[in-house]
Structure 1
Amino acid sequence: MTETWHNNLKTRNREDLIAAAKELFIRESFLKVNVKEICSLAGISRVTFYKHFQSIDELVFEVQIEILESMTGYVKKAASAGMSGREMLVSMLNAWIEYGIAHPGCIRFILLFDLHYEAYEAGTVLKAQYEAFIGREKEQHFLMHALETGMKDGSLLQDPEPLETAQFIFTSMMALLQKMCMSAGQDAQTGQPEIRIARRFAGILIEHLSADY
């Protein structure tokens, strides 16, 4: 068997473990899931698990990063060429809310992760790696293109600190979506008031940032 085959198998095993962990973490919460359950769902041995991850904490961090990248990627795709900066921002915020409605488990996972790992020592290496990831994401913020485009084309107000504004929007939107998803639980109708509030808040943000405000 070739080296390429082994590398592909290794990559697939890692991806299968992350996918299985993500499914279990969202369904059960990562505080209740163990390595045996992850390996069973993935169809992979514990020996293979520990070839890829030193602990379940490491896998939790991987899932957090995967969810954040998936969410921000989904939101970024809502902006397209030819849109004004304001139109980009409107489309992105609406897409963000739609993501929360479609993936409430992912939003709840992010909330639990943030609450748990702020209070729990997961290891300095893991935390340093995660903080480095967050630092890169803030520097290359996924909302910056819309904000900068809007300032250039005149559809959004001039902002001396666009990165600070982008981070404020992120923090505010995530807080709203987490409240929305926690309220909804398993009943989609229960969360309707929170969905309306999220949409209303997004509208207020757009109105405040618009050049004709």
Structure 2
Amino acid sequence: MSTDPTASAAPGRGGSAAARRRAREAEIISATRQLFDERGVRDAQIEDIAKSVGINRAIIYRHFTGKEELFSLTLVQYLDELRVALQDAAATTDDPREQLVRLVDAFVDYGLAHPAFVDCAQSIMRRPGGDLLEEVSESAMYRLGQAISGCLSVLTRTITSGARSGDFHVEDPELLANMLYASGLGTLQLGRVAMLVAEEEPGVPRISRITAAQVRDHMVATALALAAGAPAGAAPGR
């Protein structure tokens, strides 16, 4: 017997309706992703999404509980792509330290290539969990959790492997993976702004440029230092 969840949706009126519903949801998510990539998360409005699909905005609310759920499921699409990029990066070496470097590189590459992913991920993370649960259905939250954990599991496996080999000194690999993901999103935002703010002298600010290479090197050094159990400033070179 087939285990494909879409296999039973083809025959019968009920199955066809379910298949059409899934297709329409995928179409709406794809249109949302396109607007995110073109305009950014803040400028993507429900009216624009509906127009690009050729439907009334009311139809969107038949498929999603609201804007937060639609944005959450669009983030799932980004995260699924990121997970593949991370898995490909991890597969290039068995050395935990070098593997961690390549995972951070892949994360930076994806984040800089898809700035809307960073915006979307940060907008979701800014919401208290309880508030998000009130606006997003249980099934959507489950899919979002799957997508996030899929990415984090790649990083967690590398950290765990390094801890077992003695390359890393980490008591809680899952916690470190979550922290690196959250802080990495913020650092990527700094890379997008490309500006550093410092104090030239008391009360006088100084603005300088920061490059993508500097952002990458900082994230790699920080990840290696935290995994090794050393202060970030004491991280060894790449």
TM-score by length of 2: 0.68
Q: Secondary structure at the match of 2:194?
A: helix
Query: Match of 2:165?
Result: 153
Distance change in 2, residues 1:169/1:142 (3 Å): same
Q: Secondary structure at the match of 2:161?
A: helix
Matched, 1:38 2:49: yes
Matched, 1:57 2:68: yes
Distance change in 2, residues 1:175/1:32 (3 Å): closer
* Structure 1 residue 22, shift from structure 2 partner: 1.9
Percent identity, aligned pairs only, is 17
Q: Which structure features the higher share of strand residues?
A: 2
Query: Match of 2:136?
Result: 126
Distance change in 2, residues 1:182/1:72 (3 Å): farther
Instruction: Specify which of 16, 32, 40 is matched with residue 21 of structure 1.
Output: 32
Letter paired with 2:158 = A
Distance change in 2, residues 1:104/1:50 (3 Å): closer
Letter paired with 1:19 = S
Q: Secondary structure at the match of 2:170?
A: coil
Return the alpha-carbon distance in structure 2 between the equivalents of residues 19 and 132 of structure 1: 16
Return the alpha-carbon distance in structure 2 between the equivalents of residues 34 and 61 of structure 1: 14
Distance change in 2, residues 1:160/1:81 (3 Å): same
Letter paired with 2:222 = L
* Deviation readout 1:118-137 (Å, 9 max, x if unpaired): 5xx56625287649944994
The answer to whether the Cα contact below 8 Å between 1:180 and 1:194 also exists between their aligned partners in 2 is yes
* Structure 1 residue 180, shift from structure 2 partner: 1.1
* Structure 1 residue 99, shift from structure 2 partner: 0.8
Query: Match of 1:204?
Result: 221
* Structure 1 residue 98, shift from structure 2 partner: 0.9
Return the alpha-carbon distance in structure 2 between the equivalents of residues 132 and 114 of structure 1: 15
Distance change in 2, residues 1:196/1:82 (3 Å): closer
Letter paired with 1:27 = E
Distance change in 2, residues 1:157/1:179 (3 Å): same
Which deviates more, 134-143 or 81-90? 134-143
Which deviates more, 199-208 or 95-104? 199-208
Stretches of structure 2 lacking an aligned partner (at least 5 in a row): 1-9, 196-208, 230-234
Return the alpha-carbon distance in structure 2 between the equivalents of residues 132 and 30 of structure 1: 20
Stretches of structure 1 lacking an aligned partner (at least 5 in a row): 185-191
Distance change in 2, residues 1:62/1:2 (3 Å): same
Greater relative contact order (CA < 8 Å, ≥ 6 in sequence): 1
Distance change in 2, residues 1:199/1:81 (3 Å): closer
The answer to whether the Cα contact below 8 Å between 2:97 and 2:162 also exists between their aligned partners in 1 is yes
Matched, 1:142 2:154: yes
Decide which structure has the larger Cα Rg and report it.
2
Return the alpha-carbon distance in structure 2 between the equivalents of residues 87 and 146 of structure 1: 10
Q: Which structure features the higher share of helix residues?
A: 1
Letter paired with 2:105 = N
* Structure 1 residue 141, shift from structure 2 partner: 3.2
Return the alpha-carbon distance in structure 1 between the equivalents of residues 147 and 19 of structure 2: 28
* Deviation readout 1:136-170 (Å, 9 max, x if unpaired): 9459633111111222334x223222222222222
The Cα RMSD (Å) is 3.7
Return the alpha-carbon distance in structure 1 between the equivalents of residues 38 and 228 of structure 2: 40
Return the alpha-carbon distance in structure 2 between the equivalents of residues 136 and 67 of structure 1: 9
Distance change in 2, residues 1:153/1:28 (3 Å): same
Q: Secondary structure at the match of 1:142?
A: helix
